[in-house]
Amino acid sequence: MKTSPFSLCLVFSALVCGGALRAQEAVADQIHTPAAGTPERTAILDVLHREYTTGSGSKVKFKVTYFKVHNGWAWIKVVPLNPNGQPEGDEWPSLLRNQNGTWSSIDLIAVAQGLDESDGPQSPTKRFLQALQKKYPAVPADIVPVGK
């Protein structure tokens, strides 16, 4: 059986592309901060924009102060900014989960209500993280900015 240069090129391309996809999957399984403009970061911020504008009716930009993603979970803290770039509200922590390619927000207040902590998700403690992982066992601890 003769091998044409074209078929060799196809095999080489498949190997290179397959390797690139596996490399992307490996990165997705490691803790990371999605770079500005990436589809992952845009999708997560889009969820927050939908939630924020639904409540306030305001079209805002977000200043990201903390952002970690790992194994389909994201913890992000943002400050909403008005059109002049001034803060329009307090820092807003959010936990999101990716299921079947779609990011959705998790209710952190429900986790905090069972605790005697006033800050809850604003300044997560080890106790808050334990309560969070009891309710959502798959949440990676390394994305949560735990203080004391």
How many domains does the chain fold into? 1
> pLDDT digits over 97-111, tens only?
999 999 999 999 888
4 found inside a domain: no
56 found inside a domain: yes
* Residue whose tokens read 């927000």: 105
Mean pLDDT to the nearest integer, 54-58: 63
Mean pLDDT to the nearest integer, 125-137: 92
Containing structural domain, residue 127? 31-143
23 found inside a domain: no
| CA nearest to 48, candidates 65, 27, 31 | 65
Model confidence at 30, in pLDDT bands (50, 70, 90)? very high
We report the CATH number of the domain holding residue 47 as: 3.10.450.630
24 found inside a domain: no
Q: Please report the pLDDT score of residue 89 as a whole number.
A: 86
Model confidence at 140, in pLDDT bands (50, 70, 90)? very high
- In the predicted model, is pLDDT for residue 120 greater than 50? yes
49 found inside a domain: yes
108 found inside a domain: yes
- In the predicted model, is pLDDT for residue 22 greater than 50? no
SS3 content of the chain, % helix, strand, coil (to 5): 45, 25, 35
What residues are paired with 64 via a beta bridge?
78
Q: Please report the pLDDT score of residue 14 as a whole number.
A: 41
Question: What pTM, to 2 d.p., does this model score?
Answer: 0.77
